A and B are shown apart, each in its own frame.
Chain A
Amino acid sequence: MSDHTEVCVVGAGPAGSLLAARLAARGRDVVVLDAGPRFDRAEDLQRVERELRPSHSRPDVWEMDQDPSRDGVRDSYSTTGEIDYKLNRARVKGVGGTTLHWGAMTPRLHEQDFEMASRHGIGVDWPIDYGTLEPFYCDAEREMSVSGAPNPYAGPRSEPYPLPAFDPSHSDGIVREAFAEHGAPLHACPRAINSEQNDGRSACMGYGTCQPVCPSGAKYSADVHADRAEKVGARIVDRAPVVRLDHDESGDRVVAAVYERDGERRRVSADVFVLAAGAVEIPRLLLLSTSQRYPDGLANTSGAVGRYFMEHPGIKVVGEFDEPTRQHLVGYETSVSEAFYDHDDGPAGTMIVQPYNDAGEYPVAAALSSRPLSGRLADGDVTAPFASDEWGDALLDDVRERTEGFIALKAWVEQLPEWENRVALDRSRTDDRGHPVPDLQFSVGEHASASLRRAESFLYDVLESAGATEVKTVVGPDEPWFAFHHLGTTRMGTDPESSVVNAQLRTHDLDNCYVASSSVFPTGGAANPTLTIAALSLRLADHLDGTL
């Protein structure tokens, strides 16, 4: 089968779906190809059960492969670098992309993030500034129905948030003064979750399972825009992984996206191609698309494709309190502080600090998981190896002990772009269709590690001032958690020698090949990336509509 369209979009996550919906609404002919399925959202409640019952694992929920070390599987990958990264917990393949699973926190980048090199001598500057993106931030906030309130640390806004912010939680109140006392006053946390019924979707009903699934539809996910795109004429093809991009003889234009479906190879030819497959699969696709003209991969004259991978490493510190802390009553965090975002103030290094609403175990998890043997032994219970799991009143006591009286604080930090941190191909291993798998090689780096150590001491100060009787690092700077934000692997810049796309997101090498993704971020800040991805995508839609 061969098809021609004006715009071929690879990937139906937020980057691809927002762009497709916008261009289709303007009468453009759009085809979207996505590697994963179209999920039946009527099955969300079964997904909730899969999430809540400890005998299932996270990647189960959206059918990501669980054992990526096996060859011949759709989602196989390698991690030959320092960090054993759980990539399949960090992404979803399917219409809606990873936003089916995401937490929907939507801060903007700050003005300084676009100018880290000129302001602070670290990283690189973006070729665009905050002001250029600001109207598109507003647009993105409207499209994703963000609930929020302005905070004193973020960049200037030209429009209010579309929906009112969620009120802080009871437990935010327990630590509020302590955050302020140590220099980081809390403020509302912007979220793409409906605080009111809006846009044909429900208000938040408090299921508390937003990550990984919101059965009420109050949490924005990009299937909203995929559906919208379809209604205005776009064609969305699921289970259609693009395996290579072919260029014309001159090497100046992409002529076809080659994908595989129902055991067949098919092609879509288009005037313009937009790669929106996420910051791991985009470089992989480019690296797979070698030719005589581009022996190191398409659009890779700079050698920067796959390079400068960044994440947001984080830590978690938990305090125990003598009072009930009212956890697990809602699925998202309701306060945050961007005060330490400023490089010059507070702990140096860009970071976000936040109280969580899910400390301790949730009741089902505590009730359904027998208490780990190691825990019982550590408590001096020598009979543990012979004991059976307790039910009835003993179980209730155990559940109480494991669910009540905790508050968790987290911080995550900026990681600087480093050439060595990368998505490469592991040619020794192949996926279900025989293509080399992505190989994620990266380490956290001294800059981010130092920020994490400063964050840890700040979080201890807060919990101790708030009256915690015991404070403990659950995830520390040496082995941080990751926010599952993938950045930097096709960086944007003015110099074709050192970057992959220009300020219009067009690849330097090819005239009609664009990238919509956090892979274009030259630096990552500490803000969660998806609102910025959405703003860049909407800006690109405008640009393409003007040039097609």
Chain B
Amino acid sequence: MKLSRRDALVALGAMGVGAGGVGVLRERAAESEEAMTDVLLAAAEVVYPSAVTPTREFVSAYAVGRRRFDADAERFERAVADLDRRARHDTGQSFASLSLARRRDVFRSLGADRAHANHGGTTAERVRYYVVDDLLYALFASPTGGELVGCENPPGHPGGTDAYQRGPEA
């Protein structure tokens, strides 16, 4: 299943970053946003299950989009940049240009695969919080991700009061 811009907007809506908010973007060079989207998309391909296919538009609309309104935006940007920097340091290449296996190695080399998420912690902990966990949050707090585990209205998503009454066959 392809994750669309719409999926991202649904996820964003659940976080209060509604369409109305999109008009008041923080100033940021389009270039740096492109670069962040590259890294995040590449990271999403590692952390998401194969049942969903992350797309540029999904990642850009969700992960980058929501941070535009966030007090934490700088930490987020730093975490994304740190991940890319580690890839260049370890392999001489950008994170996004690596194979899936090499990307996993980069996460491991950072320690992000064992780190506890902490938005104010070490590089590994921040990468875990802002890259890995942010992407997983976008997926599993949305109906698309919830559905993968039989929970089409997961906590955090305002999906109404019918879902809980329905049986699995419905």
Chain A residues proximal to chain B, CB less than 8 Å: 42, 44-46, 48-49, 52-55, 166-170, 173, 195, 203-209, 215-216, 323-324, 326-331, 334, 357, 362-364, 366-368, 370, 388-389, 391-393, 395-396, 399-400, 403-404
Contact = CB atoms under 8 A, between A and B. Distances in A.
B92 to A, nearest CB: 24
B57 interface: no
B117 A53 contact: yes
Contacts of B151: 326-329, 362-363, 403
A373 to B, nearest CB: 10
Contacts of B140: 363-364, 366-368, 399
A362 B154 contact: yes
Given A45-B15, A167-B165, A170-B165, A388 B159 contact: no
A394 to B, nearest CB: 8
A400 B133 CA distance: 17
B163 A368 contact: no
A55 B133 contact: yes
Contacts of B136: 364, 367-368, 395
A166 B40 CA distance: 41
Interface string B55-71: 00000000000000000
* Range, interface on chain B: 35 or more
B157 interface: yes
A55 B119 contact: yes
A541 to B, nearest CB: 33
Contacts of A169: 164-165
A406 to B, nearest CB: 12
B22 to A, nearest CB: 15
10 contacts: A48-B15, A52-B141, A55-B119, A207-B155, A208-B157, A326-B168, A329-B151, A331-B155, A388-B113, A388-B114
Contacts of B148: 396, 399-400
Q: Of residues A42, A323, A331, A395, which shows the largest number of chain B Cβ atoms within 10 Å of its Cβ?
A: A395
A45 B47 CA distance: 25
B117 A170 contact: no
A46 B132 CA distance: 19
Interface string B138-170: 011100011011111111111111011111100
* Interface of chain A: mostly helix, strand, loop or mixed: loop
Q: Closest 6 A-B residue pairs measured CB to CB?
A: A45-B16, A388-B113, A329-B164, A396-B49, A205-B158, A208-B155
A206 B161 contact: yes
B153 A208 contact: yes
B89 interface: no
A403 B149 contact: yes
Interface in B103-143: 108, 113-114, 116-119, 129, 132-133, 136-137, 139-141
Given A52-B137, A209-B156, A370-B114, A215 B164 contact: no
A357 B157 CA distance: 16
A208 B117 contact: no
A334 B158 contact: no
Contacts of A42: 16
A329 B147 CA distance: 11
A363 B146 contact: yes
B29 interface: no
B119 A364 contact: no
A52 to B, nearest CB: 5
Given A45-B15, A403-B151, A204 B161 contact: yes
A110 to B, nearest CB: 28
B50 A393 contact: yes
A136 B47 CA distance: 55
A42 to B, nearest CB: 8
Interface in B1-29: 14-16
A43 to B, nearest CB: 8
A389 B151 CA distance: 23
Contacts of A330: 153, 161, 163-164
Given A207-B157, A208-B153, A363-B140, A326 B49 contact: no
B81 interface: no
Contacts of A357: 164
Interface in B38-61: 46-51
A46 B70 CA distance: 10
Contact of B133 (A368, A396, A404): A368
Contacts of B119: 55
A169 B48 CA distance: 30
A85 to B, nearest CB: 26
Contacts of A205: 158-161
Contacts of B161: 166-167, 195, 203-206, 330
B29 to A, nearest CB: 26
Q: Of residues A52, A209, A363, A395, which shows the largest number of chain B Cβ atoms within 10 Å of its Cβ?
A: A363
Nearest to B71: A46
Given A48-B156, A55-B129, A391-B46, A215 B16 contact: yes
A132 B136 CA distance: 54
A262 B5 CA distance: 47
A324 B141 CA distance: 19
A207 B165 CA distance: 15
A52 B155 contact: yes
Contact of B48 (A166, A207, A329, A392): A392
A285 to B, nearest CB: 36
A475 B155 CA distance: 23
Nearest to B133: A368
B141 to A, nearest CB: 5
A209 B158 CA distance: 10
A163 B7 CA distance: 34
A251 B155 CA distance: 53
B19 to A, nearest CB: 14
A495 to B, nearest CB: 49
A367 B136 CA distance: 7
A329 B149 CA distance: 12
A363 B137 CA distance: 9
B15 A395 contact: no
